[in-house]
A and B are shown apart, each in its own frame.
Chain A
Amino acid sequence: MRHLMLSCYSLFFCVACNDHDIASPDSDKTLQTPLPFNVEQLGAGALIGDVTQVDCELENGVQTRCHKLTFKGNMVEKGPFCPEHLDEVGGLGVYDGPTNPGLKAMDRTLFTSMENDGFDIVDDSGNIRIADASRLNDYSEDFAYCLDAPENEEIELTYLLPTLPVNRFKAKPIKMIEYIGFTFHGIPIDGPAPSVIEGPPEREGGNIPALDPCGGHVAPAGYYHWHMIPQAINDLLDTHEVTSTTCVKIEQSATAMIGWAKDGYPIYSKQDVEGKKPENLDECFGHRSVTAEFPEGVYHYHALNPKAPNTPVCLKGYPAKNALSFNIHYDPMR
């Protein structure tokens, strides 16, 4: 009998401890439908077709409805990324080596710091060693590289957003390069970029992925994505005393809604609707309050993480399974 009771408790424990299997009831019905998608706001012609609603399954197994949006990839102005020479300034890099770590402009100071730490990333003529991240096998392991990758213009991205967000029992932290959500340009937002210095000595030590000054870059698979909230990045650059480059290709806004997290909650820039610093933020840099788009109030995230990246550090709700998927639109005439 005791064994039987223990078994029952164990089963309950299994269900209760797994955040994929339990949802708290405080879903935000404000968001149910329709979402405030201003089609003109949705990236310069990037949206393909209409925003539709489809059946979908959340990560906790709940069958529900999701908004489905498909965008052409890479539909923003981007770059510069890696500078070709020490005398030039490229985009941004997040460096975690011992000399001068942090969010840095890709300039002489950063590359000299890397050289000081033993990474051979500058040749004798002052040229920066640059590698295509999708073809690293072509490059010598004796050197460190600034990583860049070519775009694939054929990529389309499809996002599924729960029409009615369902909260987790406990917020889930964002892992390195985990997909977080997307901006109105139809561009994915990912979690923190990988470490520069970690890894076995045979690979990656010293290779630094280049972000452009707005905090995005092209993945080896060919699609551009952000590692920062671009509309609030210039403030972040000020905070980190980055002065040699600035984001000019994405309009900066302190109050704008910038897109959606994959759990269905909106993401806003740094300030609330009245232009003040948001109050009562939780561990994910989110709170419930009135916004311009949701006058009755809604739970939402803010780009207020003072560290780089400035993206939410955790998500409150469950995303749909297959929240981001890809397609290739082959054009033989291209």
Chain B
Amino acid sequence: MTRTLLPFTIFCVMLCFGVSAHSPQVSMFTLSYQDKQWRLEGNFSQAAVSSVLNQTIQELAQSDAQLEIYRKRLLAYLTLSISLQQKGQSLKLMNGHAKIGNHQTDIWFDVETIHEDQPLYIQISAFEEIEHHTHFFKVRSKTSARTILLKPKESYRAVIEISADGTIKQLADVDEYTEETNFPEPEDEHPYLLVLLGICLLFTLIGFQKTLRLMLRGW
């Protein structure tokens, strides 16, 4: 019994330390139309990037090869966590670039054609691991610009529409549109952590009970 309990306890100790790190709160995305091409740019705190990639820039030996691996990991992470959809189809993110910095990291992708007068579904789950992280999402059309927030309580989702004259509308209720898209359903926050903590507690209680019995017998 105690052999089983020990690894769990050690895991709990590691967990306690693992969740205590401070992380920056805000990221900036800009979806803009320039030179007849839509482009998605991102501007992040390097601390946020280090946090999700579990590797700080200082840990790299600053060699070109290591930096390149780091860059590819970041772009892969973002490609998986950024979803832009129209007419039920995901828009491709192409030609990803990343400039890794000590304090700030900048990325950009070319985006497949965005159709005018059609709802554009946006979901960016990047950095959702960082509690209360918020994305400022700026859209620059041919004629106007507008910023919306993607927040955790809305599962980082929004629906906008860009009209032919460049007007940008935010469509009110994200959930109204969710069924038409492939958005994953919002999940409860870290349910696996709750289960693990429950198991830890259970084993600890059993352990205490046994200790108590042994002590009573001893007396």
Residues of A within 8 A of B (CB): 1, 3-8, 10-11, 13-15, 17-21, 133-137, 141, 152, 154, 175-179, 194-195, 198-204, 219-222, 321-322, 324-328, 330
Partner of B136, one of A8, A221, A321: A221
Instruction: Give complex CA distance A154, B25 in Å.
Output: 19
| Number of residues from B at the complex interface, CB < 8 A | 51
Instruction: Give complex CA distance A330, B210 in Å.
Output: 62
Instruction: Give complex CA distance A318, B75 in Å.
Output: 35
* Chain A residues closer than 8 Å to B132, beta-carbon distance: 321-322, 325
Instruction: Give complex CA distance A176, B146 in Å.
Output: 29
* A222 and B147 in contact, given A11-B9, A18-B16, A137-B108 (Cβ under 8 angstroms): yes
* A200 and B100 in contact, given A7-B5, A8-B207, A21-B16 (Cβ under 8 angstroms): yes
Instruction: Give complex CA distance A5, B26 in Å.
Output: 43
Contact A4 B210 (CB under 8 A): yes
* Chain A residues closer than 8 Å to B100, beta-carbon distance: 200, 202-203
Instruction: Give complex CA distance A246, B106 in Å.
Output: 33
Instruction: Give complex CA distance A11, B6 in Å.
Output: 10
Contact B101 A200 (CB under 8 A): yes
Min CB–CB distance A110 → chain B (angstroms): 19
By Cβ-Cβ distance, the 9 closest A-B pairs, closest first, are A199-B102, A194-B103, A3-B2, A203-B101, A7-B9, A204-B101, A14-B16, A14-B13, A221-B136
Residues of B within 8 A of A (CB): 2-3, 5-6, 9-10, 12-13, 16-17, 19-20, 22, 24-26, 28, 30, 41, 43, 45, 47, 57, 60, 62, 67, 97, 99-106, 108, 131-132, 134, 136, 146-149, 170, 204, 207-208, 210-211, 214
Min CB–CB distance A305 → chain B (angstroms): 20
Contact A327 B149 (CB under 8 A): yes
* Chain A residues closer than 8 Å to B5, beta-carbon distance: 3-4, 7
Give the interface SS of chain A, mostly helix, strand, loop or mixed.
Answer: loop
Contact A135 B30 (CB under 8 A): yes
Min CB–CB distance A293 → chain B (angstroms): 29
* A1 and B99 in contact, given A136-B43, A175-B22, A178-B22 (Cβ under 8 angstroms): no
Q: What's the count of A-B pairs with C-beta under 8 Å?
A: 135
Contact B147 A134 (CB under 8 A): no
Instruction: Give complex CA distance A20, B131 in Å.
Output: 14
Instruction: Give complex CA distance A15, B106 in Å.
Output: 38
Contact B102 A219 (CB under 8 A): no
Contact B45 A177 (CB under 8 A): yes
Further 20 A-B residue pairs, CB within 8 A, beyond A1-B2, A10-B10, A15-B16: A6-B6, A18-B17, A19-B20, A134-B28, A136-B104, A136-B106, A137-B99, A152-B136, A152-B147, A154-B147, A178-B22, A194-B104, A198-B102, A199-B101, A199-B102, A200-B102, A202-B99, A203-B106, A220-B43, A326-B134
Contact A3 B136 (CB under 8 A): no
Contact B13 A137 (CB under 8 A): no
Instruction: Give complex CA distance A193, B67 in Å.
Output: 24
Contact B16 A326 (CB under 8 A): no
* Chain B residues closer than 8 Å to A221, beta-carbon distance: 26, 28, 136
Contact B149 A326 (CB under 8 A): yes
Min CB–CB distance B57 → chain A (angstroms): 7
* Chain B residues closer than 8 Å to A10, beta-carbon distance: 9-10, 12-13
* A3 and B3 in contact, given A11-B12, A194-B103, A200-B67 (Cβ under 8 angstroms): yes
